[in-house]
């Protein structure tokens, strides 16, 4: 193993591996450093929804970024299969955003009108139309927004595909290697000190999710990234009970995977790195899920899991270069949209690091100084 690289990426989650793939494909020598195992935090907790038009309800930089990134998955799935041999299980069978009450229905109908500007195929389904499409849904539901062009992927396989495709182009992956400090000389990044020794590089990307704040604080930049635990579980019905993703405004989702397993999540417990899966959290999800699809009460139990997702004070990720430490870059704080935004984040960061063409208007919304607390 070498002790130098063109770019060091701190963090082996979905964002870090996507950046590594794009940079390696451009011919840069990349080392990914992960303090635990690859994709073991927010990526592990994700269900893989690409729900840009269900999760993000207002126009703006995050929404436009989400739409752009979502449109990249079809081509990306084929590209990653070619270079990594991994099928990311891209499924594009649509999503239903459920309105459980008449009051919620009036709000979802407004979202339909707004979203149709971007996708004319989006439509409102009343109760009768909804139950004709998904007969297993509870008859108490008032209706739903149908987003026929939405889809999902298998998060762990997407991260694996990014990693193996990056390795195909020469990237090196080092798990169980924690970065303990950054190395600077005259305001320029020169590398990192790790638990396994120093590695030199003049470009370092912090893509460490909820752990990014600690490293950046040491670098004189305080950003508002904090942990949010998400608990999930999965079941496997004997017979299919849903045909597409079900998303509730009460923050419960059901995602049908190719193997028949249904992922159900997710709780949101803020400001904790504790990954314990609790009876209280899983019980709340079971109640929400079975209220939506009563037949899930008879489904076979599969497994439970949790992960730590990185949220920010204003809900927008941080993407850009450190204002006073040349060569230090950040891509963190993607919260529930890390899977969705991974393709576009990888492209943006790769272009930024190599001097390529970047959408400066878009990036300006995610700059690192927006909560300006910098120590030079």
| CATH assignment of 92-150+226-312, among 3.30.9.10, 2.60.120.620, 3.40.30.10, 3.10.20.30 | 3.30.9.10
Could you tell me if residue 375 is left (phi over 0), alpha (psi between -120 and 50 degrees) or otherwise beta? beta
What pLDDT was estimated at residue 374? 43
Contact predicate 307/227, CB 8 Å? no
Dihedral sign for Cα 177, 181, 184, 188, please. Answer: positive
What pLDDT was estimated at residue 187? 87
In the predicted model, residues of the chain with pLDDT beneath 70 are: 1, 250, 371-376
Question: According to the CATH classification, is domain 7-68+155-223+315-364 in 3.50.50.60?
Answer: yes
294-297: long-range contacts (C-beta < 8 A, 24 or more apart)?
A: 294/136, 294/138, 295/136, 295/237, 295/241, 296/235, 296/237, 296/241, 296/254, 296/262, 296/264
What tokens were used for 341? Answer: 């935004």
Q: Within 10 A of 220 (CB to CB), how many other CB atoms are there? A: 16
The per-residue pLDDT for range 324-374, each reduced to its tens digit, is: 899 999 999 999 999 999 999 999 999 999 998 877 777 889 999 876 544
The domain spans of the chain are 7-68+155-223+315-364, 92-150+226-312
């Amino acid at each position: 193993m070498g002790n130098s690289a063109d770019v060091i990426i701190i963090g082996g989650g979905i964002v870090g591996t996507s950046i590594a793939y794009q940079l390696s494909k451009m011919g840069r020598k990349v080392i990914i450093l992960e303090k635990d195992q690859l994709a073991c935090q927010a990526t592990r907790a994700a269900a893989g929804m690409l729900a840009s038009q269900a999760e993000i309800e207002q126009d703006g930089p995050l929404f436009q970024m989400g739409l752009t990134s979502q449109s990249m998955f079809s081509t990306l799935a084929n590209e990653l299969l070619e270079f990594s041999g991994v099928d990311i299980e891209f499924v594009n069978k649509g999503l239903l955003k459920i309105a459980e009450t008449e009051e919620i229905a009036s709000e979802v109908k407004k979202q339909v009108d707004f979203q149709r500007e971007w996708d004319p195929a989006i439509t409102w389904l009343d109760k009768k139309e909804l139950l004709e499409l998904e007969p297993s849904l509870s008859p108490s539901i008032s209706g739903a927004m149908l987003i026929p062009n939405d889809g999902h992927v298998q998060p762990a396989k997407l991260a694996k595909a990014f990693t193996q495709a990056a390795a195909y182009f020469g990237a090196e992956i080092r798990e169980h290697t924690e970065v303990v400090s950054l190395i600077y000389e005259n305001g320029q990044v020169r590398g990192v000190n790790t638990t396994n020794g120093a590695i030199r590089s003049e470009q370092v990307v912090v893509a460490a999710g909820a752990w990014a704040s600690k490293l950046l604080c040491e670098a004189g930049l305080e950003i508002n990234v904090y942990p949010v635990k998400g608990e999930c579980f999965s079941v496997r019905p004997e017979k299919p009970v849903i045909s597409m993703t079900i998303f509730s405004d009460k923050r419960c989702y059901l995602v049908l995977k190719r193997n028949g397993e249904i992922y159900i999540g997710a709780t949101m417990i803020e400001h904790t790195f504790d990954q314990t899966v609790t009876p209280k959290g899983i019980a709340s999800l079971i109640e929400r899920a079975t209220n939506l699809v009563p037949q899930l009460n008879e489904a076979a139990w599969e497994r439970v899991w949790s992960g730590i997702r990185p949220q920010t004070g204003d809900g927008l990720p941080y993407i850009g270069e450190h204002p006073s430490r040349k060569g230090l870059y950040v891509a963190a704080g993607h919260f529930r949209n890390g899977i969705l935004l991974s393709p576009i984040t990888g492209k943006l960061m790769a272009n930024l690091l190599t001097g390529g063409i970047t959408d400066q208007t878009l990036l300006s919304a995610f700059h690192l100084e927006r909560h300006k607390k910098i120590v030079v």
